[in-house]
Structure 1
């Protein structure tokens, strides 16, 4: 039985109608248009749209979503060659190679990755590093290259010093960047050579250092999900249901997604899904239900993919359990 099945039971159906589809555009009209342009290899239109984005966090988020869309690795090299003085095609190409590298490696644990997969993974990461560093040199104020360089550093196992340097470089360009904080949290996870203590300390310290209403509160929920995932069976249930974890989750939600000053950034649905899953697992269905109602079917692949089944089906089952309880 899958992890989701063990959590909810084989017969746990849902009463909420059809399973919602995961929207790769997150309901964002700009991103939806860019994804269409990306799929059509319409670089001039995509370039003009990205160049018009003034906010560095928004640009980084848009490029991150485009990087996950397949196919651009075939035509972006030509776009970069045609515009030898432009950083934008290099940024997009480097970001795509990071995502493309992980596609080759897959999300399997290291012992289940073949030698050929490791070879392709390494080649694509090396290419990504080259493109991203060149983009960073051409546009020193840009946040995006340093965001993606954090991911490539972790994949290439460049070590804690390189990882910290790249995180700090990102924060010099945007101190409150949620995406870079998420990447730093991953770097500090036990599975990547860190520890639960480092991870939790980083998450809570970052949250408390930020103003109330900051999206950085999500880091606390992510840290508790990562800790829970590292445990098995009764230990996992005891951990996520402990009063201390519940208190920390509510504190984080109160300082972020539930705070009156919280301003939903692009991709806000990810944080709501993260808190909804964490609070559901922690036995707080009424609190989770409020978030599910705000999401209104806007399911994201993560964190639900951690449950080893269909993310959308997991979302629906937890949503409907929360609705019945809340």
Structure 2
């Protein structure tokens, strides 16, 4: 099925399609949203008034979550945000930023390596920072009970602290009560129910399919089905050198489910490209490429025109996701 090329303006600068057949590949962490660049610059400079001005102007709870995620990855925020929290003891926003940053800071200490390669000392720092984040985010949830952001972030900290499936489920439900269809919260819960986080393949696929079927026509949650298949592929073989269309991803049932999910989301005429729409397109591009569906993958690669998201390519190259992107784009003939 040919990809229906439709764009709409998202938050911030309109996200326009790129139609050139460029050989470029780059990671655009702002996703075309000028506010993200403003935030990251202000955060890097320790400019709390500048950060707060952008966050205060968030369009809604989903938008606030999106913007806080942009701040949490900026190194050095942890050095100046404690003073802001102290100066504004009753405010929710400084605590939200601090809690978010402590989560990312914790994962930086743990590193992205497998657990067996992480030292006892690294785990201690990891858990200490996550516990700080949890305390701050629960305080935010009390002060701003309508915000989805703390519950979204508690999904991430909880997974690191291994709070268990029951607690994780309650945190996910708290997030989607405040923002039904919240894509980022669904992504986090999908990770939670993966086998690698004490879930199972069956539970992961059931969650992805149920979310997709419950979404509006053209909604983004079909992406979860593609992620789930990539996760099982990684768990079962993950052989990037195997011929495209072989192994798990080449199974006919998997291919059919990928097409169904794409037709309900990125291929649907009502699909709207908001915020990080390129992540969904990158996810389907890799899934179709691995499945040996060259035309379907090529169409997605052409729309992306070199715009790479760290997920899912980080699974193939954690140092430079643009490398596997280029490789699989070439294999797809795009």
What TM-score, normalized to structure 1?
0.91
* Aligned-partner Cα distance in 1 for 2:285–2:63: 24
1-structure distance, mates of 2:181, 2:23 = 37
State the match for 2:13 in structure 1: none
Aligned to 2:180: 175
Q: What is the deviation of 1:161?
A: 1.3
Alpha-carbon deviation of 1:19?
Answer: 4.6
Q: Is the 8 A contact 1:19 1:313 kept in 2?
A: no
Residue 18 of structure 1 deviates from its aligned partner by 5.8
| Worse-superposed segment, 231-240 or 141-150 | 231-240
Give the equivalent residue in structure 1 for 2:268.
259
Residues 46-85 of structure 1 mapped to structure 2, 5 A cutoff: 46-85=51-90
CA contact (8 A) 1:91 1:145 kept: yes
1:274 CA displacement: 0.6
Query: Structure 1: where are the runs of 5+ without partners?
Result: 1-15
1:288 equivalenced with 2:297 (yes/no) = yes
- Identify the residue that residue 318 of structure 1 maps to in structure 2: 328
Cα distance change, pair 252–17 in 1 and its aligned pair in 2 (3 A)? closer
- CA–CA separation in structure 2 for the residues paired with 1:26 and 1:96: 20
Q: In the TM superposition, what is the alpha-carbon distance from 1:270 to its structure 2 partner?
A: 0.8
Count, aligned residues: 309
RMSD: 1.6
Find the counterpart in structure 2 of residue 13 from structure 1. Answer: none
1:226 corresponds to 2:231:
yes
SS at structure 1 position matched to 2:255: helix
- Distance, in Å, in 1 between the alignment partners of 2:267 and 2:302 is 13
Please state which structure has a larger fraction of its residues in helix: 1
Tell me the secondary structure at the aligned position of residue 24 of structure 1.
coil
Residue 17 of structure 1 deviates from its aligned partner by 6.7
Whether the 8 Å contact between 1:289 and 1:319 is mirrored in structure 2 is yes
Alignment counterpart, residue 33 of structure 2, candidates 28, 31, 42: 28
Matched, 1:111 2:116: yes
1-structure distance, mates of 2:89, 2:294: 54
How far 1:193 moved relative to its partner? 0.4
1:102-139 Cα deviation digits (max 9, x unpaired)? 11111111111100010000000000001111111110
How far apart are residue 289 of structure 1 and its match?
1.2
Which of 153, 166, 173 aligns to 2:158? It is: 153
Shift of 1:308: 3.0
Structure 2 unaligned residues grouped into runs of 5+: 1-20
Change (3 A) 1:296 1:91: same
Between 1:138-147 and 1:265-274, the stretch displaced more is 265-274
Which of 134, 137, 140 is the aligned partner of 1:135? 140
Q: Which runs of 4+ in 1 moved over 3 A?
A: 16-19, 233-237
After superposition, give the CA deviation of every residue in 1:58-100 in whole Å (9 maximum; x if it has no partner): 1111111221121101111111111112111100110111111
Residues 39 and 70 in structure 2, CA contact (< 8 A), matched pair in contact too:
no
